[in-house]
Amino acid sequence: MSEHVALLTTGGTIASSRDEHGVSRPVAGAGIELDGVRVREVMSKDSSALDFTDLDTIRTATADALAEHGCVGVVVLHGTDTMEESALYVDLFHDDERPVVFTGAQRTSDHPDPDGPSNIAAAVAAAQSERGVLIAFGGRLLPARGVIKKHTTELDAFRSAALPRPKPLQWKPVAGIRVDIVALYPGADGVQIDASREAGASGIVLEALGSGNTNAGVVHAVKEAVAAGVHVVVTTRVPFGETSPTYGGGGGGHDLLDAGAVFSRELRAGQARIQLAALIASGTTDVAVHNSFS
Ligand SMILES: NC(=O)C[C@H](N)C(=O)O
């Protein structure tokens, strides 16, 4: 085939149908046949079951597709639950004029009024005309960096903080690296941070409160983790706005900074985890981690 869009299927609701009990499961192949589109099945998984090995597979498949003669752009069909992770993972290394466009669906392919077909049409059009790594979904075209799934069922499911892209990294696989997310709340202690460190995490992402705050016990655990060589990145459970290390008092963001944590600024926990894992895989220094998030 000469000029074409490569369409990679990975599973998700867009490639799922419901059984007699109404349970949705990905089925092999998405059954898509479109002129000028070359379809390749990469995997068939619900995106909430993807691991770092799968992310490496998806990234390699997009690079291979772009290397094919005549490929003008790539579409990745993907589950919505972790589309923000996979799209950012591809974006971190993307250094190509041609676009990679992720899309998916909120409704299964056998739904009487599915949203998959219109999302695919928008993604294929974007793959023929746009640049960068994007998410085409529910009538929006959003840059991958800064995107979050903001609604469990609405067809217009994503928003993006539209953040500037850092310089692309050299790809190194993240399979085998452990980066955990620890959610914080009033009364949280350091137990999960200690457990994560003991389980061999090279990085921990804190989903902190407000602009990036917690309490003195958590700060103490962070200090110990950093001293043991673990990279700690602070995000927030608040959906929009920047984190900032402005509060003191023993458990504030400023105390987390003093304990050696790095502030993610706009990236939320899911994407901050992916960026931290990619940086760790590339054998980065503390300073590079800091610069990459600031
Ligand atoms: N709408 C979806 O695609 C959700 C599905 N659980 C997935 O992420 O694979």
15-to-45, 107, 150 alpha-carbon distances in Å: 9, 10, 21
Q: What is the pLDDT of residue 83?
A: 98
For the record, the structure tokens of 258 come out as: 């003093």
Among protein residues, the one whose CA lies closest to atom 1 of ligand 1: 106
**pLDDT of 259 strictly over 60:** yes
> Furthest-apart CA pair in the chain: how many Å?
64
Phi and psi at residue 130, to the nearest 5°: -100, -175
The H or E element spanning position 231 is strand 231-236
**pLDDT of 28 strictly over 70:** no
Please give the Cα distance from 226 to 261 (Å, whole number).
7
Q: What is the pLDDT of residue 10?
A: 97
Active site residue 13: yes
| Residue range 116-151, pLDDT digits in tens | 999 999 999 999 999 999 999 999 999 999 999 999
Q: What is the pLDDT of residue 98?
A: 98
For the record, the structure tokens of 232 come out as: 């700690």
The active-site residue, picked from 10, 62, 80, 82, is 80
Number of H helices, E strands in the chain: 8, 14
Pairing outcome for strands 203-208 and 16-18: unpaired
| Residue range 150-185, pLDDT digits in tens | 999 999 999 998 788 999 999 999 999 999 999 999
Q: How many CB atoms lie within 10 A of CB 165?
A: 14
Q: What is the pLDDT of residue 29?
A: 57
CA distance from start to end of the chain: 43
Q: Is 81 in the pocket of ligand 1 (CB under 6 A)?
A: yes
Q: Is 203 in the pocket of ligand 1 (CB under 6 A)?
A: no
Averaged pLDDT, 89-98: 97
Give the global pTM. Answer: 0.95
Q: What is the pLDDT of residue 30?
A: 60
The H or E element spanning position 15 is none
Q: Is 48 in the pocket of ligand 1 (CB under 6 A)?
A: yes
Among protein residues, the one whose CA lies closest to atom 3 of ligand 1: 79
Q: What is the pLDDT of residue 15?
A: 83
| Residue range 180-203, pLDDT digits in tens | 999 999 999 999 999 999 999 999
**pLDDT of 256 strictly over 60:** yes
- Establish whether this prediction's ipTM goes over 0.85: yes
* Ligand 1 atom at shortest distance from the alpha carbon of 13: 3
Q: What is the pLDDT of residue 1?
A: 58
For the record, the structure tokens of 192 come out as: 């999960």
Q: Is 115 in the pocket of ligand 1 (CB under 6 A)?
A: no
**pLDDT of 42 strictly over 90:** yes
Closest-CA residue to 102 (of 147, 56, 164, 49): 147
User: Do residues 89 and 59 lie in contact, with contact meaning Cβ atoms separated by under 8 Å?
Assistant: yes
**pLDDT of 6 strictly over 90:** yes
Q: How confident is the model at residue 283 (pLDDT cuts 50, 70, 90)?
A: confident
Q: What is the pLDDT of residue 285?
A: 79
Q: Where are the beta strands (DSSP E) in the chain?
A: 4-11, 16-18, 24-26, 37-45, 71-77, 100-103, 133-137, 140-143, 147-149, 158-160, 179-183, 203-208, 231-236, 262-263
Q: What is the pLDDT of residue 286?
A: 76
For the record, the structure tokens of 148 come out as: 């979050």
**pLDDT of 293 strictly over 90:** no
**pLDDT of 14 strictly over 80:** yes
Percent of the chain scoring above 70 in pLDDT: 98
DSSP 35: T
Provide the CB-side half-sphere exposure for 197 (13 A, CA): 18
* Ligand 1 atom at shortest distance from the alpha carbon of 107: 1
The active-site residue, picked from 13, 214, 235, 243, is 13
Q: Is 104 in the pocket of ligand 1 (CB under 6 A)?
A: yes
